[in-house]
Amino acid sequence: MTITQLRQQLLAGETTSTAILQQLAGEIAARDPQTGAYLSHDLESAIAEAAHADLSLPLGGIPIAIKDNINVLGQPCTCGSKFLSENYTSPYDASVVKKLRAAGAIPFGRMNQDEFAMGSATENSALQITRNPHDPQRIPGGSSGGSAAAVADHTAIAALGSDTGGSIRQPASHCGVVGLKPSYGRVSRYGLVAFASSLDQIGPLTQSVDDAALILQAIAGYDPLDSTCLDVPVPDYLTNINDGVRGMKLGVPKEYFGTGIDPGVRKNVEAAIQKLAAQGAEIVEISLPHSEHAVATYYVIAPAEASSNLSRFDGIRYGRRAANPTDILDLYKKSREEGFGPEVKRRIILGTYVLSSGYYDAYYSRAQKVRTLIRRDFETAFQHVDAIVSPIAPTPARRIGAFANDPLHEYLSDIFTISANLAGIPGISVPCGTTDFDGGTHLPVGLQILGPHLGEAKLLQIAKAV
Ligand code: GLN
């Protein structure tokens, strides 16, 4: 059931928060050994919280699963990494977790992810494999793959993920659930383990658009602990959610429908756009001329920021500490050598390189300039359209292992999602049917809806119409 349905049952006295948790634990025991979405969960402490859940609050009594890079007091926070999996326990709640608790929700379960959120398949988790509930031979997407897979598998009611270049929207698309990346500054990242600080946002993965609105309502808003978090009022995201798309202008970027898109993805996305037209939206072709540079720009800026953010993992302050170092440099080196997986090392090396004095101008500072051009593309587009509609990913979920040792191929698959992070605008993925692909059948496809900065209410309204 959705949050909305469960809330009705809770308020009618037809179920209790404890009963919901016990049922979830049963579903997890039945299916998660195959799916592998959960890294850990603590039923006992969740049930203790459920006992005094305040049902009068908007998420009162509802368990919400949390990606394992968001701190929850007293729980593990592995980031899918061996660096943190053995001896790190969160000493505090992330601000989003505090806000969820203040809305009555119960954080329950820690979800698998690509190590430090670097990846698009959850295959870069150093801890376990997560499978797509629609086809266990396939990836759930990533990096919030555990969050998406659990919601699709009905082992979680809803979940939080993080999105630096598509990590909420793309796994939502691959698993057939709703995923919302809010605008940069809409939601506090205090307590989210930083990957690329100018791009990271936290958002919900849910079974319905209404549920995404409910969670965004709870987590959005000012937080003095994150200096990038905006002090602007949070609208009521449910007020206009059922108002439909009549009279709206929706832009279809011609650069997003070129070669390389799987025909089944194209067909489903185009059909969804036609349905929006049938409901009264005006569809216009637009251009985002710098789109072709988005992947290169992102894969300079994100690793640069990651190389700086991850320098805190030095073997002293957090997590893993190598045994028997000869001196302090040896301790840094050994701890990082042992603790980080290959993709994280690749990003740190790449990021350090583009920031180094000889290459800074050629790569990092140039990427920042192209980033401005990409942001301006969107600003120009939103002078003419209310929102932009597009695919989320070029193909449905691929097979596990299909891109092994081919990181470039993997990076290129982020083409439709990373521009929103570079521009700081919100994006939502909403299921728009299923297709056959590479021997798999009935694989979910997502429609992406992008809107102007802080335009989440309208995105939810369009997504609901879909
Ligand atoms: N796939 C992208 C990357 O690997 C985006 C990841 C994310 O959004 N956290 O960096």
- Beta strand extents in 106-189 (DSSP E only): 106-111, 158-163, 178-181
Q: From the candidates 81, 90, 120, 143, which is the catalytic residue?
A: 143
Q: What confidence tier does 407 reach under pLDDT thresholds 50, 70, 90?
A: confident
Query: How many structural domains are present in the chain?
Result: 1
The CA distance from 49 to 63, in Å, is 10
203: number of CA atoms within 13 Å, CB side? Answer: 34
pTM, rounded to two decimals: 0.98
Cis upstream peptide for 143 (omega within 30°): yes
- Quickly list H helices, 242-314: 263-278, 294-309
The CA distance from 328 to 314, in Å, is 10
What does the DSSP 8-state code read for residue 389?
Answer: E
Atom nearest to 343 CA in ligand 1: 4
The CA distance from 400 to 195, in Å, is 24
pLDDT of residue 406: 84
Is residue 360 classed as helix, strand or coil in its secondary structure?
coil
Q: Which domain does 138 fall in, by range?
A: 1-466
State the average pLDDT over residues 2-15: 98
Contact 391, 265 (CB under 8 A): yes
pLDDT tens-digit series, residues 224-262: 999 999 999 999 999 999 999 999 999 999 999 988 899
Using a 10 angstrom Cβ sphere, with 0-12 exposed, 13-18 middle and 19 or more buried, the burial of residue 340 is buried
Whole-number percent of the chain with pLDDT over 70: 100
Atom nearest to 421 CA in ligand 1: 8
Is residue 346 classed as helix, strand or coil in its secondary structure?
helix
CB of 407 within 6 A of ligand 1: the answer is no
pLDDT tens-digit series, residues 260-288: 899 999 999 999 999 999 999 999 999 99
- Residue 167 a catalytic site member: yes
H/E segment holding residue 19: helix 17-35
- Residue 98 a catalytic site member: no
Distance from the CA of 94 to the center of ligand 1, in angstroms?
21
SS (HEC) of 330-345: HHHHHHHHHHCCHHHH
pLDDT at residue 202 tops 90: yes
Whole-number percent of the chain with pLDDT over 90: 97
Ligand 1, atom 5, lies closest to the CA of 165
pLDDT tens-digit series, residues 162-177: 999 999 999 999 999 9
- 85 to 110, 127, 184, 436: CA distances (angstroms): 12, 8, 29, 37
Q: Which residue in 162, 163, 135, 165 sits closest to 149, CA to CA?
A: 135
pLDDT of residue 154: 98
In DSSP terms, 283 is beta-bridged to: 250
Average pLDDT, the chain: 97
- Strand pairing category for 63-67 and 106-111: parallel
The CA distance from 201 to 163, in Å, is 5
Angle between helical axes of 294-309 and 342-355 (0-180°, round to 10): 100
pLDDT of residue 260: 87
CATH code for position 399: 3.90.1300.10
- Residue 120 a catalytic site member: no
Distance from the CA of 63 to the center of ligand 1, in angstroms?
26
What does the DSSP 8-state code read for residue 234?
Answer: P
Distance from the CA of 160 to the center of ligand 1, in angstroms?
16
The CA distance from 203 to 179, in Å, is 7
Give Cβ neighbours of residue 92 (< 8 Å, ≥ 6 apart). Answer: 71, 73, 191
The CA distance from 36 to 136, in Å, is 10
- Tokens 């140039």 belong to 366
pLDDT at residue 436 tops 90: yes
Distance from the CA of 145 to the center of ligand 1, in angstroms?
11
pLDDT at residue 343 tops 90: yes
In DSSP terms, 70 is beta-bridged to: 192
H/E segment holding residue 250: strand 249-253
The CA distance from 415 to 296, in Å, is 10
| Pocket probe mutation, ligand 1, options 418, 419, 429, 448, max atoms within 8 Å of Cβ | 418
What is the token pair recorded at 35? 């799916």
- Strand pairing category for 387-391 and 38-40: unpaired
- Phi, psi angle pair for 376, to nearest 5°: -65, -35
Q: What angle do CA 167, 168, 173 make, to 5 degrees?
A: 105
Instruction: Count CB-CB contacts under 10 A for residue 347.
Output: 26
pLDDT at residue 114 tops 90: yes
Distance from the CA of 147 to the center of ligand 1, in angstroms?
15
Contact 183, 191 (CB under 8 A): no
41: number of CA atoms within 13 Å, CB side? Answer: 31
User: What is the rounded radius of gyration, in angstroms, for the C-alpha atoms of the chain?
Assistant: 21
pLDDT at residue 64 tops 90: yes
pLDDT at residue 409 tops 90: no
pLDDT of residue 404: 81
Distance of CA 194 to the CA centre of its chain: 13
